[in-house]
Every structure is written in C-alpha cells, then in structure tokens.
Amino acid sequence: MADVSIKPITRLLVANRGEIARRIMRTARDMGMATVAIYADGDARAPFVLEADTAIALNGRSSKDTYLDIEKVLAACRRTGADAVHPGYGFLSENARFANAVIEAGITWVGPSPDAIAAMGDKLSAKRLMQKAKVPTLPAQELKPGDNAAAAADRIGYPVLIKASAGGGGRGMRIVSHARDLDNAIAGARREAESSFGDDTVFIERYLAVSRHIEVQILGDRHGNLVHCFERECSIQRRHQKIIEEAPSPVMTAELRARMGDAAVAAGRAIGYASAGTVEFLVDGSDFWFLEVNTRLQVEHPVTEAITGLDLVREQLRVAEGEPLGYTQADLSITGHAIEARLYAEDPGNEFLPAPGRVAVWAPSTAAPARFDSGVESGSDVSVEFDPMLAKVIVHAPTRREAAARLARVLETTRIHGLTTNRDFLVATLRTPQFVSGDTTTDFIERVNPPRRRMISSTALHEALIAIVVESQALRRGAALVLKTLPSGWRNSVMPPQRVRFMHRDEEISVSYQRTFSGIFEVRIEDAQYAVRPHVAGVGRVEIDVDGKRVSAWVDSAADHWCVTGVDGAISVVELPRFVPPGAKEFQGGMIAPMPGKVVETFVAAGDAVAKGQLLVILEAMKMEHRITAPIDGVVEAIKVVAGEQVANGQVLIEIRKADS
Amino acid sequence: MALLNSNLDVKSDAFLRNRADMMEMLDTLNALQAEAAEGGGEESIARLRARGKMTIRDRISWVLDPDTPFLEVSPIAAWRSPFNVGSGFVVGVGVISGVECVILGHDPSVRAGAFNQFNSKKLMRGLEIARLNRMPYVQFVESAGADLRGESGEDPEAAIQREGDHFAESGRLFYEITELSKMRIPTISVVFGASTAGGAYQPGMSDYNIFIRKQSKVFLGGPPLVKMATGEDADEESLGGADMHCTVSGLGDYLAEDEMDGIRLCREVVSHLNWRKQGPGPSLPADDPVHDPEDLLGIVAKDLKAPFDMREVIARVVDGSRFEEFKPLYGPTLVCGWASVHGFPVGILGNNGALFSESSEKAAQFIQLCNQIDVPLVFLHNITGYIVGTDFEQRGITKNGSKMINAVSNSTVPHVTVIVGASYGAGNYGMSGRAFGPRFVFIWPTAKIAVMGPKQMAGVMSIVQRAAAMRRGIAFDEEADAKRAAVAEHWAEERSKGLYATSRVSDDGMIDPRQTRDVIGIALSACHNAPVAGTKEFGTWRM
C-alpha cells in the first residue's frame, strides 16, 4: 500500500454514547488524547459526558435528531477542534456517507475506508463480494415490493429469515417457518427496517435453525497488514441480539479456526480493510457460511481483548494515525477463556421488553475480578430513546468453566437497583449444564429455555425481608427528629408489633417485628419466627444474625422499592404503603403501555372475549415491536387507542373485565 | 465530668436475691400488662374486627411513626378494682408525623369504651400532660358513656353514703380541651364510634375533627332520647352520622372512609401543625451508661430494709455514667449532681438515707441552682422521711425541710420523679412527689409509698390506743391490739405497695428498672415541648 505518513490524533470526538463512548475515551486518554463527547438531551448528565474533557449538546431527543445527524456531529467537530472521530458501534459507525464527510472535513476517521463500509453496508452486495472471494454464503434473495416472496421462499426452503438489508442488531428481522406467515413477517420487517435504518429494503435468506454464530475479529492497517484475532462465539441470543459472547468458541478446532481465519482475512482483503472489523459466520459442524462483515468495533470486542491482550480501540486509533500494526499473525495467541454478558434493563419475564427507568444503585461486584464496561452510574437514567444496555461484564479465566462460574457469581453479586434487568436470566443461562458443556447454538434460549427469573427460596426471601426491616428501621431511627437516641420501637407496655407489608413478585407478605429489651428483634414472617441481632444497619448494608446465622447484605432502596444483594443474589421487593388514600387505589383491568411508543395495530374490539395470552395491541417503541397480550381470560371493555396514536408510558390501551366477574 | 464508679458486687448473695425478687415482681407486672393488652378479651376483639374496627392499641400503633417510642401512662390502672386492668383506656406519649403528642382513647373492646373513675383519671392525666408540656393532644373517641357497673348490686343507701363526688363537679374534661386550644396547643379528635350526650363535646371542643363514614356517631341525644324529648323519630345517621356532620352540620372537618383512613388523616393533620418544640436540645452526648443497666435489677432489696447507694442507680441511668456531684461531702444522705439523660442536661437528687437539716438545705440550694440555669430535675426516691427526734427538731429539721419543700414547690424547671424504693411521709413531698406537680412520676416494682412504713403505722396506732386506754384507766387488751395491729399493718402494707399506687393512677406507671433511663429520656423530651425556664421566685425562705 501507499506510503502513509503518521498523523497523530490530539483531540478525539466520540460520536457515540453510553458504555462504548466511555470505553473509547478511556483508551484515548491513556494515549494522551483529549476527548470530546456529543450528547442528546437525555444524556446531558450521563457518565460518558461528565467524563469527557468537553462535550457538545446535539439539542434533540431521538437518535435521528442527535447521534444520527451527520451535520450536527460535524459541527461539533468543528466547534471543538476535534482532529479525529471514533464512531463506536451503531449510530453512524457504518455510514459511509458520514465517514466520507469526516474525511473530507480533514478529520481523521477511526474506521475502515468509506468504500469498505459501503461495500459491506448492503448485505446482498456483500454476499456477492464474498462469493467472489470464495467465502461460503447462504442462499438469499432481495425482496423488492411486488416480488413474489413466496416463490423465493420456496426456492430457498423454509425456514427462512427476513432481514433488513441495511440492518443489524436484530432489528427488522423475522424468522418464518410457514408460507402463511410470510407476508406479515415481511411487512413487520419492512416497518422496523424503515424506522431503524431509514431503508425498508429487506431480503430473504435460508435460516439455519440450529447453528452457531461465530465471528472472526480482523485487524488491518494502512500498510497492507491484515491479521485475524481469532474468533468469538455469540450464539446466545434473544430477539436476534447477542447477550452472552465468548472467546474462544468452545467448539473450535485448530483446523476450523485456520479455515475461518483465512476466510475472514480473505474477506478483509477483498475490501481493503484497514481497521478493526468483524466477519460473521454461521457454523454447523465443520461447515461455515458468511453472514456479514461489520465494519466497526463490535460490542463484544472485550472478550477478544481479554484472550489476546490487545486493546482493540488502541489498535484502531494507531491504525487511524497511520501506524503499522507492528506484528503478524504468528505473534498472536490465545490465553485462557473470556466470557461477556450484556446486562440490559429489560424484562425477561415479559418477552425481554425494554424496562427503562432510573438506576437507583449501580455498584459492580467486587466478589471476583471482572471488567465492567458500563454506561451508567447510580442515578443514571435509562431512557426509552436508546438501547437499554446497562453494562457489559467480562471475565477472563484460565478455563471456560471457571470463566462461566465467575461471571455468574459476579453478575449475581452486582448491586443494581431501580429497574428490571436480565441479570437473573444471564446468571441462570451461564449455569445451565448446556452452557457449561459448550452446547451453545443460536436456538439456545428457545431450546434450553433457562428460567427467566430464578427460584427464590423462602429462607432467602425471609432473610432479605429481615434485612430490609432491620435496615429501614435503622434509617428511620437515624432520621428521627425527636427521641432519636431511644431504642427502636421502644415500648413500656404490651403493644402490637411493627407491621409492614411487601410485594414480592405477585405475592403479598406481611412482616412484623418488635425489638426486645436485649436488642434482639423478634421478626415474624407469615408463620415463621426469627430472632435477629443487628450488628450493622442503617448504612446501606446490614450485618445481622438470624437465629445465629450471619447474614450480610447490601440493602438499597429507591422510594418504596427495596433490593437486597446478598449471598443468594439480589432480591427485589416493593414495600406497600401503610395508608392508601381513597381514590389512589390502583386501576385494575387496564392494559397499559409499558413505555412510550406508537400503536401499530389493535387486534380486538370492544365486547370481544379474549383468552389469556391473546394478542391485543402491537406497540412500536424503542425501535421494536412489542406485543401487548391479555393477562387474563376476559372481555374487552373498551379500546382506548387507535392505530398510529402516540402513547405515553402507563397510558391505558385497553380495558378488560375478568371473565368471571 | 467524672465517671461514676460502681462498687456493686453482682455475684453477691444479696444482689442475686434482690434480682430474683425483682424478676418475680416483673413477672407480675408483665402479666398485668398482658392482661391490660387483652382488652375485652378475644371474643370481644373478634367481634370488633368483624365490624372493621380495631382495638385502641392497634389504632395507636398505626398512628405512631414506625419504630418510634411510645410511653404508655398508667398501663395497669384499675388493678384490684371491679374494672378491667388498664381500665379499658390507653394514654401515652408518642410520635405522630415527627411530633410528640399525647395520644389517648377508650378501648372499644372493653365494655364499649365506658367511662369509669380510673379511665376518667387517666384521661384527665392525659390532658394535664398535654397542658404542662405543651404537647398536641390527640384523642381517639369512642365511648358508650358512664359504666354503671361499679354501683350495681350495692345497697343504694350505702352507695350514697360512700360517694364523695357529684355530677355537679363533672365535665372538667371539656373545659380542659378548650383550654389547651386557647393555649395554642392543638387538639385533634378522631371519632371512631359513639360520642354521644356529654361525649359529643369531646369533638365539639376540639380544633380538628376526623369522622369515619358509617362509624362515627356524634349527637347530644340519641334516637330514644330525641323520641322522649320531642317525639321525633330520628335515625342515627342523619342525627349524628359522619356524612351528616361533614356535609351538613360542619362538626366534622375530615371524612374518613374507614379506621385506617381516619388514622391517616390524623397523621396528616399533625404533619401540618408546624409544631416547634419550645425547649432546647437534646444538646449533650447520649451515649449509653458505662455500667450495665441490667444490674439495676439487683440493687434494691424487696423489703427496702437494706440501704443502697443511689449512685449505683445513677451510674446506670445517666449518659456515659457521667455525673458531677455537688457538695459530695455535705449532707451526704442526699446525693445531688449534674448529668444528662438521652442528651438532656439534668440535675439529679437521690436519697442515700433520711433527710437531715444539712441534706435538706443542700437540696434547696441545688434546686435553686438548677432553676438559675434552666436545668430540669430528676428525683430518685428512696426516702423514709425527714429525720425525727428532739435533737433534730431543735436544730430546725422542720424549718430546713420546709426550705426544701419550698424550693421543690416553686421550682419551674421540669421535674421527673422516679420512686426507686421507699417514699414515705413528707419525704415524698420534698422529693417532688405526685402532689408537687412533677411533669412525670414513675415507680419501680420495689416502690412503696405511704405516710409512713406499715410497721411504724401499726406501732404508732398501738401506742396511741394504749395511751388512750391508760388515760381512761381501762385495761389494754394486748391480744386484741396485736390482732388489730397485724390487720392494720397488713392493709397498710397492701396500700403502700407500688402496684396499688400505680393502679390508682397516682403515678404515671410502674416501670422495669432497666428502662429507667429511657423512660426519663422520653419524659424529658416531652417536657422540652414547653419552654424550659427556671425561676428566681420562691416562697419566703424560713431562716
């Protein structure tokens, strides 16, 4: 390749948000660069903005008005004097027009050439390019409006996958097993593709129901060097989004690794790749097929960093500055095993629906060494506007089994409070025998079906409730304005005990307690009685003896929500109010919008009898379609919304009367 | 401030015996408290609950801020009377919405909340606590009216002869409720049930009335009385129901949906009172005593004959066992000094023997000093009285005792009295006994209160009668005298017992000695709702 002069980066603008913005800035700072953040309105106080040396408001709420607005990002570069742009992943990271505009503005683009991006951006043309480079591909066909989709599907053979041509991240993706579902799936995929990528082009492809998603990290420089940094396996996916990724793959052989590595490097060479990129494959046995090239840093890049010792962001920045890699394929090797889990604010019990909210408490576990790439801190908001990922947690251990065990434990003992997360689901997944044995295929979640939430024993629950009442009474005593130094709940006669009610999942639990003379709390939960001696309480952490068993736990609260993180993991409960003002009683029987969004379609009419689980409404929010289903058998009382209507979080969509009432 | 040393031998036979005796007395106390808490019994409570109603203890426990202390006053009143232990009435000092209040009310499970002389006395005591300490007054009203049971079965003539009170003296309660209001002490009524006839003035005189839908009944005359008086057929709801009073008559200010809602509204009312305590503090460290309060169980002997050092009690009551003794070398039968309890500075007077001229004068001086610097006083009784005898009279024991009583009577800083052991005769007065207006008086199970010791009393009577017989020249029947003396001593003993005193509401309750520090702390904190101001004005000192 041509002579490349070194052009050092002094001020790096990160055209992204959240954890990846923080992660990129961390390396940039280490390399002596000043950092510039850009931010949407909702991110004004986000950690990545606070940590940047300077930041520019993009004045807008949605992705479209902010991180996707090329003009605004370029203006931010000009205003701050940034001499390089790192796009992170998502947003404009694979937008060739943006890359071009950056380069034309005389700013260093941290990424592959706009041509390489463009070549890979359209999945169909990418496939053709790969076929030329002799990389195996799956049969596929683009679907133009008016095309005979059924014929194409028949030719390819069911099951088929409908994919957005411009897409990624599972958006605009549908699996179709039967011809009768084809039209609906295509329409849905087009809608999502249009709203996510501004391009409703979709294509149809052979779907491999049981396979592995294995990708190869490639790294090239502008001097013509190109290496691969081995593979990552990302088969554990929900809603076509990866949630657990690892390196190396548990099924990799030296032979297959060499073949896939060669294919990936060939793919990279075919497009003159000069940055960090990823070639994705589906693998079945010793066969593999090219899926796509991601011309950016991947979310899951840390597992590669762990096993190779490379800092991929540093490599990207060096390459962008014009430095050669300075090593060859033979210099790279794998050490140990790394697994990453993606913690999301989402509800695994409700189809993994995003569950935005405020992170009341965020405290990474210190139980064992782990890397936390998080975009949040205590007090951060997870907004409906953006991806609800809280953090990536990565562990690196000598063996895969140890890595899985440690990651599960680290996740379990991390303090997260204030919102619903997939944490328990991740922990359960990591502990399934199938995962531990490496039986990880893309249908893992459907096939193994790890529990969406974990079993909580009554002992664990009772200990958590005890920790809460001990903590809460200590907090109240500490905040008392009068008689502050008197013992808690002091009595000189026989009075009823202190009483408090909690909701745990769908169960209401009453707890009563009374401090005795000796400082022991007699706690009664349902029919169980405990003698509790507090040692530490009122500081967010309790150390208590429950009938002689030491219980240590973090006790976090946000309004009436409590979260106890102890030896058995986290247990969340809601404290019920002592008094409920009349009229404040909860509305019963209304199906409410779980988040702000747009009503796509309603499927029932007033007076219809509905069965539990029946589809009522499709709501589009956070770029995804959410199905609102009937929670009970009943009769539709009223439809409160129409298709196309914007709805607020908590807005009543449909009222249902219980069948037997 | 110096740390008090303890010379208590917790392994000694005397200590262990005292402790065992005290534990036995505490068992009795606890049993009586449990009995009081049972109210009208399981069946009666079940009936109440079936109607969506709560016992008074439940109501109070819900109105209190969670985990805050509640000091019940005279919980075992009416023991050894025809009425239920506790008298079917609860009064106490507790915290509502961060404000220390006097909270009281009838227990509807006990004879539908009927009045009797014991719970009337408790109610009046509640009003007094509110008035003296400037505490918001919260009454949970539900009463069937007077309990006529005390009189039933008795010969009407005997009853008339026995009675020393008259209707003409009744109704003071209503006067005192409005007096509180005049003093800018808020009064709040939550009417949980019937509040009729004179009882209607309980809410009538209150600043805030919370009525409960379908439960509160407030009228001067019920349907039968209305029928008799005017011939009108009236139904209870339109005559005095909560809805009517809150929408038509205006007697009700807040309409609650149910009992819990009434309690919620009560808490809201208190939260808007903008209540500011007018006394200072607590201002000093409130660390636990260095010496174990558990030891308080073994200090006092049951028969009160064995002397003990009151400093051993003080060392287990005051913050950090710190005590600065005043005049330790002078008048040693009275221990005086400064300390703090739960952070409130106090001057303490404790008996270490009979009161002599020196100890009396020391007390008078100490009380004046505490008034000079606005420090409340704590009296710890173990007093057989002022010393008697020719020598002492000639040296002015009555005169000097009077100085002490003058000082105690006219002192204006709050007094909290704890009767630890004996409290006999004028010693009770000089140590700020009940009649001398201490803000609070509590007694230990070992306490005895009387004009003099039972044996002394029986002996005095015997001597007086023997002298009378001799004067009249008749033979003195030694055997009859011995019998009479034994009977007199027995009943004097019974009447002098702490349990008897406390059941007559002549104090604010019998306490577990180990709770002394906390009881005093709550009492002091209550006192500090009013300004804490001493005086330089006393009666003329008899010199």
Of A482, A491, A517, nearest to B525 by CB-CB distance is A482
**What are the chain A neighbours of B37 within 8 Å (beta carbons)?**
493-495
**ipTM score for this prediction:** 0.95
B72 and A496 within 8 Å at the Cβ level: the answer is no
pLDDT tens digits, A546-563:
999 999 999 999 888 999
**A401 part of the active site:** no
Of the pLDDT bands very low, low, confident and very high (cuts 50, 70, 90), residue B303 is: confident
B69 and A582 within 8 Å at the Cβ level: the answer is no
- Shortest alpha-carbon distance between residue B69 and chain A (Å): 4
Question: Is B518 touching A (CB cutoff 8 A)?
Answer: yes
**What are the chain A neighbours of B518 within 8 Å (beta carbons)?**
486-487, 490, 492
Judged against a pLDDT cut of 80, whether residue A591 lies above it is answered with no
Mean pLDDT value across residues A623-636? 78
- Shortest alpha-carbon distance between residue A357 and chain B (Å): 29
Of the pLDDT bands very low, low, confident and very high (cuts 50, 70, 90), residue A588 is: low
CB-count burial class (<10 Å; 0-12, 13-18, 19+) for A528 = exposed
Of the pLDDT bands very low, low, confident and very high (cuts 50, 70, 90), residue A646 is: confident
What local confidence, expressed as pLDDT, does residue A199 receive? 80
What local confidence, expressed as pLDDT, does residue A167 receive? 66
What local confidence, expressed as pLDDT, does residue A623 receive? 62
Q: How far apart are CA A581 and CA B236, in angstroms?
A: 27
Q: How far apart are CA A227 and CA A376, in angstroms?
A: 34
Of the pLDDT bands very low, low, confident and very high (cuts 50, 70, 90), residue B219 is: very high
Report the chain B residue with the minimal C-alpha distance to residue A580.
B261
Q: List residues in chain A touching B: CB distance below 8 A.
A: 473, 476-477, 480-483, 485-496, 498-500, 517, 578-579, 581-582
Report the chain A residue with the minimal C-alpha distance to residue B280.
A482
- Shortest alpha-carbon distance between residue A561 and chain B (Å): 17
Range with the poorest average pLDDT among A395-409, B254-268, B445-459? B445-459
What local confidence, expressed as pLDDT, does residue A191 receive? 85
Q: How far apart are CA B7 and CA B470, in angstroms?
A: 51
Range with the poorest average pLDDT among A83-92, A365-374, A584-593? A584-593
Q: How far apart are CA A564 and CA B201, in angstroms?
A: 51
What local confidence, expressed as pLDDT, does residue B370 receive? 98
Of the pLDDT bands very low, low, confident and very high (cuts 50, 70, 90), residue A586 is: very low
The partner residues of B92 in beta bridges, in order of sequence, read: B72, B103
What local confidence, expressed as pLDDT, does residue A1 receive? 46
CB A510 within 8 A of CB A537: no
A493 and B72 within 8 Å at the Cβ level: the answer is yes
Mean pLDDT value across residues B239-254? 96
Tell me the CA distances in angstroms from A563 to A419, A451, A553, B313, one per residue in order: 10, 20, 10, 44
Question: Is B37 touching A (CB cutoff 8 A)?
Answer: yes
Average model confidence (pLDDT) across chain A: 91
Question: Is B60 touching A (CB cutoff 8 A)?
Answer: yes
Mean pLDDT value across residues B67-91? 96
A487 and B522 within 8 Å at the Cβ level: the answer is no
Neighbours of A180 (CB within 10 A): 9
Give every CB contact of residue B77 below 8 A, 6+ residues apart in sequence.
Answer: B85, B86, B87, B89, B118, B119, B121, B122, B502, B503, B504, B505
Q: How many beta-carbon pairs below 8 A join chains A and B? A: 103
Of the pLDDT bands very low, low, confident and very high (cuts 50, 70, 90), residue B233 is: very high
Q: How far apart are CA B357 and CA B369, in angstroms?
A: 18
Q: How far apart are CA A313 and CA A332, in angstroms?
A: 17
Annotated catalytic residue: which of A171, A232, A238, A296? A296
Judged against a pLDDT cut of 70, whether residue B537 lies above it is answered with yes
Of A494, A496, A498, nearest to B58 by CB-CB distance is A496
Question: Is B517 touching A (CB cutoff 8 A)?
Answer: no
Question: Is B261 touching A (CB cutoff 8 A)?
Answer: yes
CB B138 within 8 A of CB B103: yes
Q: How would DSSP label each residue in A93-153?
A: TT-HHHHHHHHHTT-EE-SS-HHHHHHHHSHHHHHHHHHHTT--B--EEEE-TT--HHHHH
Interface test with A, best of B68, B134, B514 (most A CBs within 10 A): B68
Of the pLDDT bands very low, low, confident and very high (cuts 50, 70, 90), residue A3 is: low
Q: How far apart are CA B462 and CA B460, in angstroms?
A: 5
| ∠ Cα B227 B229 B234 (to 5°) | 30
pLDDT tens digits, B475-499:
888 898 899 889 988 998 889 999 9
Q: Which of B430, B351, B364, B354 is nearest to B386 (CA)?
A: B354
Judged against a pLDDT cut of 50, whether residue A587 lies above it is answered with no
pLDDT tens digits, B341-380:
999 999 999 999 999 999 999 999 999 999 999 999 999 9
Average model confidence (pLDDT) across chain B: 94
Of the pLDDT bands very low, low, confident and very high (cuts 50, 70, 90), residue A2 is: low
B65 and A476 within 8 Å at the Cβ level: the answer is yes
Of the pLDDT bands very low, low, confident and very high (cuts 50, 70, 90), residue B148 is: low
Which two tokens mark A391?
């953090």
- Shortest alpha-carbon distance between residue B133 and chain A (Å): 15
Please confirm whether the linkage preceding A348 is cis (ω < 30° from 0): no
Q: How far apart are CA B48 and CA B68, in angstroms?
A: 27
Look at residue A591 and give its three-state secondary structure: strand
pLDDT tens digits, A486-525:
999 999 999 999 999 999 988 999 999 999 988 999 999 9
Of the pLDDT bands very low, low, confident and very high (cuts 50, 70, 90), residue A423 is: very high
Judged against a pLDDT cut of 90, whether residue A140 lies above it is answered with no
The reported pTM is 0.88
Look at residue A202 and give its three-state secondary structure: strand
Q: Which of residues 131-160 of B touch A (CB under 8 A)?
A: none
Half-sphere CA count of A65, side-chain side, radius 13 A: 10
Range with the poorest average pLDDT among A60-64, A282-286, B155-159, B347-351? B155-159
Judged against a pLDDT cut of 90, whether residue A138 lies above it is answered with no
Of the pLDDT bands very low, low, confident and very high (cuts 50, 70, 90), residue B144 is: confident
Mean pLDDT value across residues A396-400? 98
- Shortest alpha-carbon distance between residue B266 and chain A (Å): 12
What local confidence, expressed as pLDDT, does residue A308 receive? 98
